[in-house]
Amino acid sequence: MNPFRTLVRHRNFRLFWVGQTLSLVGTWMQTMAQGWLALELTNNAFLVGLVASVGSLPILLLSFVAGVYVDRADRLRVVKLMQALMLAEAATLWALTVTGNVTIQALLALAFVYGVCSAFEIPARQSLIIDLVGREDLAEAIALNSSGFNLARIVGPAIGALVISQLGIAWCFGVNALSYVAVLWGLFLVRLPASDRPAPTGSAIEGLREGFAYMWRTREVRTLMGVVLVFSVLGTPYLTLMPVMARDRLGLDAGGYGTLLAAVGIGGLIGALSLAAVGPRVPRGRLLVAASFGFSALLFAFAFVRAAWLALPLLLAIGFAMILNGALSNALLQAIVPDALRGRLMAAYSFVVVGMAQVVGAFAGGAVARALGVDWAIGGGAALMLAYALWVFARHPEVARLGQPTPAAAD
């Protein structure tokens, strides 16, 4: 099957995907530059992790409120507004850095502002995908969305390393600010039919209770969210700690750090396109189980690597397994949830994947790395992931049966 079939079939999704991918190239440039800038300003692994944690703290604080709002608002309008505010944040960071006025305090404050925008933008954007493609092509669209993310993860750090060497670190932030124009252009060209979502009833507090009650009483959702929680909190810190791993364990400079991130992105891109290509023909639950075990084992091996030539192929495989784990969890959750609760479920998903992963995962990873070393921070998390996977999939064998291919798809 053609992995780009969904892009061909749906004009709105094509506009969204192209603009989003171009913007994500800039976002990855900023992520790379921000981590390296924090390391240059402080020479402190803990503070490198703190910058990532502070940027995700608003997602912890606001995600559930944002989910209720998204389920009651125009999702497309919310995404447009948040992207415009993110443009302003990146432009401010560029101005401070290019004039030599950036401090670790300013970096932390702007990361917090970005997090406030993300708390609303992520659930709105995730919930918008079904409006762009319909339920039939939802899983493939989520996989393609992941492919765009990982394409940007490849291209962004590569361009970022070049920009840092030729123009200076400030221009990574400047290019990111310009990249938001691409996504806003695509979003303003999207035309959606009038929404048929039922009008919300009750107060915002009642909306919150309804969302929590649904997630708790629906066994499949509860189990999948547990998998998302453990693999996000324990599996994400290796990306936050990559500057430390690159410099202190592998002896690399900023360009080498960008190459490591690009390797993760290439693996993730291959994984996402593979998932989009197979479509509904492969049992998604069974594939999620395999990806979870693979991600854990590969990450444990990476923690103790000391040679860049060995780290690169490992990171390719880690990127592949990680994106399968994330995209399959997202697709299975969205296939289960009713549309009226989609914003709240995606808010819970972003609360875990971005908020808990960065605030708890990155913060704890930075603390462990400072106390015991970066290899213990990454390897210890991977060992706990593997233990959890053994327990949860033995306790809940029904996960492997989720997303079974239909007879027509199997044929």
Contacts of 399-402 with C-beta under 8 Å, sequence gap 24+, read 399/220, 399/223, 399/224, 399/227, 399/285, 399/288, 399/289, 400/283, 400/285, 400/286, 400/288, 400/289, 401/283, 401/285, 401/286, 402/220, 402/284, 402/285, 402/288, 402/332
pLDDT of 40: 84
CA distance linking residue 82 with residue 96, whole number of Å: 21
Please check the confidence at residue 135 and state whether its pLDDT lies above 70.
yes
The size of the chain, in residues, is: 411
CA distance linking residue 305 with residue 123, whole number of Å: 36
pLDDT of 202: 64
Q: Is 162 exposed, middle or buried (0-12, 13-18, 19+ CB in 10 A)?
A: middle
pLDDT of 280: 65
pLDDT of 195: 65
Which 3 state secondary structure label does DSSP give 218?
coil
Helices 45-72/204-217 angle, 10° precision = 110
CA distance linking residue 196 with residue 154, whole number of Å: 38
Helices 45-72/342-350 angle, 10° precision = 180
pLDDT classification of 408: cutoffs 50, 70, 90? very low
pLDDT classification of 75: cutoffs 50, 70, 90? confident
| Cα–Cα nearest to 176, from 301, 86, 266, 295 | 86
| Cα–Cα nearest to 228, from 326, 149, 296 | 326
Count CB neighbours of 91 within 10 A: 16
Range name among 155-164, 281-290, 355-364 with the lowest pLDDT average = 355-364
Q: Is 397 exposed, middle or buried (0-12, 13-18, 19+ CB in 10 A)?
A: exposed
pLDDT classification of 91: cutoffs 50, 70, 90? very high
**Segment 196-254, tens digit of pLDDT:** 666 566 677 888 888 888 888 888 889 999 999 999 899 888 887 888 888 888 888 87
Count CB neighbours of 8 within 10 A: 10
Residue 68, both tokens: 């209720």
Please check the confidence at residue 409 and state whether its pLDDT lies above 50.
no
Q: Which CATH class is domain 5-191+204-404?
A: mainly alpha
Count CB neighbours of 43 within 10 A: 9
Domain ranges of the chain: 5-191+204-404
Please check the confidence at residue 411 and state whether its pLDDT lies above 50.
no
Please check the confidence at residue 4 and state whether its pLDDT lies above 80.
no
Instruction: Output DSSP code: residue 167.
Output: T
pLDDT of 230: 93
pLDDT classification of 388: cutoffs 50, 70, 90? very high
Residue 96, both tokens: 């401070």
Best-predicted range by mean pLDDT (38-42, 185-189, 381-385):
381-385
**111 or 237: which leads in pLDDT:** 111
pLDDT of 69: 86
Count CB neighbours of 381 within 10 A: 26
Q: Do residues 295 and 321 make contact, with C-beta atoms less than 8 angstroms apart?
A: yes
Cα 300 to Cα 53, 77, 142, 384, 385, distances in angstroms: 23, 42, 27, 10, 9
Q: Do residues 295 and 231 make contact, with C-beta atoms less than 8 angstroms apart?
A: yes
**Segment 275-328, tens digit of pLDDT:** 877 766 777 888 999 999 999 999 999 998 988 889 999 999 999 999 899 888
Element (DSSP H or E) covering residue 350: helix 342-350
Phi, psi of 184 (to 5 degrees): -65, -40
Specify the residue for token string 């444990």. 300
pLDDT classification of 405: cutoffs 50, 70, 90? low
Average pLDDT over residues 32-36: 82
Average pLDDT, the chain: 84
Three-state SS annotation for 121-138: HHHHHHHHHHHHHCCCCH
pLDDT of 339: 78
First to last CA, the chain: 12
pLDDT of 200: 62
